[in-house]
Amino acid sequence: MGLDCIEHLDPEYILVLANTAWYHQVDVLRDAIYKHLDRETSIRVHFPLPRYNIFRLEFHFDRLILDEVPLAILNARQNKQFEKGNTLFDLGFLGLVPKRGKAYRHIIHQLHISLIVCGWDHSRWAAYAFTNSTQKQDNGNTCDNDDDNSEASDEEDAGDTIEPSEDALAANASYVLDANNPIWDPRTYWLVIISEHIRIMVHEWKWLVHHLEEGVNDWGTNHPISCFSKTCSGQCHNMNESLAWTVQTKEILNELREKLVTQIGALKTFCSSHGDAEYFTDLDDPRATAALGVCKESCLEFTNLEKKMGILHRRCDELGKHLRVILNYESNQVTLESNRVSLRSYSLNEESHRVALETQHVALANNLNAALMLSTNQFLAPVIVVTSYFSTQDKIFGFSRNATSFLVCVGIVFVVLRVVILTTFLTRKFVKLRGILACIVLGQWDQLEGRQQGVLVNKQQQFVS
């Protein structure tokens, strides 16, 4: 019987195993190393083939440990466990307060345990264990380590008892098994060791689910749905922060739930009526019977924990739905307010357009009045001029003053006035005259005013320069 426990399997260990393993262990170790590095989950019993007497018992399980890590180490990534490539889940977003203080943060170590037993018969067999855990992590939750260490120190002070030599594979499961009084039956040994590992995993899963449930409940208590809306009377919570928290919580619940469902499936397959557990029913050792009972009980515990995680996931889904409803409501409110502003702007534009239209009508009426006055003046001006001339006593022109000459003079003055107006219009349109005098003669008062303003601007610029 040989027992080998390897922590943090690396290429050097693999090379040593390849050079020292027996020929019948080569395929077993190759498959075990592959499954361990691939983090596969399985509990299998490989029965001997008809022409071969080699049996194999394998156990591959992930182990999730909730720990409190200092922020300095977490940020600097200087912890050896991180360098080993263990997957981490950061639970800082849950808002849980670590027992050690704010300088620590809750994280989850993802470890992997592999235990393989193979041999010819019940007297000639070997066991291999691969793990990337450490002694600190194997002691369970770090929150209880202080009490455990104090109890251990008290026991050491109480007496200098000689502790038995521990089995390395059992010690990795926090189970004391005297190496000087080993379990010789390979099936009993394998059952006892994996049952201890599973028992610890159940405890760690309970501790982890408890913290997740506490985090979700605290968030729901401190962030009620009624306080997410901007229309609430109390303090309004940050919508983006709430959505980010919901997404992160759902993601980590999904990942953890998938791992738990995988472990439940492996345990159910093993403990089923036609599963590999039937391979151990003929054992009379009470430790084997107790180990089978632990496996079946742990399967039920895992199932209950999976249901709790499902409830937490549904609560996060409901929270996400409520947040989406509130977000849509707020968006609709913003859109409605924007429509109201647009309506008011349209009303103002309509009023402005109406005022402009009325102003245009007034201007048009003024233009018509001015045109009418101009036409009237053009007709009355010749009559007034001729009448003024005929009313004088002195004769300026050598013609007699009678009705016929009066009408002829009116006609001549009217024609002359029309010619002058036409000439002025054509000159302003087709002839570009410059100078103030030309503007005065042609009646271009607007251009005269513009020229004066330009002169003033030039003088100001010259003065400034």
| pLDDT at position 140 | 41
| pLDDT at position 293 | 92
State how far the alpha carbon of 425 is from the alpha carbons of 164, 324, 370, 439, in Å. 127, 72, 17, 13
Domain count, the chain: 2
Is residue 124 in a domain?
yes
| pLDDT at position 304 | 94
| pLDDT at position 267 | 92
Same domain, 321 and 381: no
Give the domain extent around 72: 2-142+163-336
Is residue 364 in a domain?
no
- H or E stretch covering 310: helix 286-390
| pLDDT at position 142 | 41
Query: Which of 18-27, 250-259, 332-341 shows the lowest per-residue confidence on average (mean pLDDT)?
Result: 18-27
For residue 104, the cross-strand partners are 70
**pLDDT band at 141; cut points 50, 70, 90:** very low
Is residue 321 in a domain?
yes
Share of the chain above pLDDT 90, in %: 19
Q: Quick count: other Cβ atoms within 10 Å of Cβ 75?
A: 10
437 has pLDDT over 80 = no
Query: Which of 100-109, 226-235, 398-407 shows the lowest per-residue confidence on average (mean pLDDT)?
Result: 226-235
Same domain, 332 and 375: no
Mean pLDDT of all residues in 320-332: 81
CA gyration radius, the chain: 51
**pLDDT band at 154; cut points 50, 70, 90:** very low
Query: Which of 94-108, 340-354, 423-437 shows the lowest per-residue confidence on average (mean pLDDT)?
Result: 423-437
Same domain, 29 and 113: yes
Alpha-carbon distance of 166 to 337, in angstroms, equals 75
Residue 8: which region, alpha, beta or left (left: phi > 0; alpha: psi -120 to 50)? left
Is residue 80 in a domain?
yes
The DSSP line for 141-199 is -GGGHHHHHHHHHHHHHH--PPPPPBPHHHHTTT---BTTS----HHHHHHHHHHHHHH
Helix 239-271 vs helix 286-390: angle between axes, to the nearest 10 degrees? 150
SS3 56: strand
The DSSP line for 335-359 is HHHHHHHHHHHHHHHHHHHHHHHHH
Alpha-carbon distance of 364 to 453, in angstroms, equals 29
Alpha-carbon distance of 292 to 277, in angstroms, equals 8
Pick 170 or 330 by higher pLDDT: 330
78 has pLDDT over 60 = no
Place of tokens 């109890």: 151
163 has pLDDT over 60 = no
**Mean per-residue pLDDT over the chain, rounded:** 77
State how far the alpha carbon of 182 is from the alpha carbons of 2, 162, 178, 279, in Å. 11, 18, 6, 21
Query: Which of 70-79, 94-103, 191-200, 393-402 shows the lowest per-residue confidence on average (mean pLDDT)?
Result: 70-79
107 has pLDDT over 60 = yes
Is residue 229 in a domain?
yes
Q: Do residues 177 and 183 make contact, with C-beta atoms less than 8 angstroms apart? A: yes
Residue 37 CA, chain-centre distance (Å), reads 31
Place of tokens 């009418």: 372
Same domain, 385 and 332: no
| pLDDT at position 460 | 62
SS3 457: helix
Is residue 191 in a domain?
yes
**pLDDT band at 179; cut points 50, 70, 90:** low
Alpha-carbon distance of 199 to 291, in angstroms, equals 10
Is residue 413 in a domain?
yes
Burial class (CB in 10 A: 0-12, 13-18, 19+), 62: middle
Place of tokens 């303090």: 235
**pLDDT band at 345; cut points 50, 70, 90:** very high
Same domain, 182 and 247: yes
Same domain, 208 and 100: yes
| pLDDT at position 146 | 41
Helix 286-390 vs helix 403-430: angle between axes, to the nearest 10 degrees? 150
pTM for this structure?
0.65
Is residue 349 in a domain?
no
Same domain, 262 and 324: yes
Alpha-carbon distance of 465 to 463, in angstroms, equals 6
231 has pLDDT over 50 = no
Mean pLDDT of all residues in 340-353: 92
Mean pLDDT of all residues in 138-144: 42
Mean pLDDT of all residues in 158-182: 58
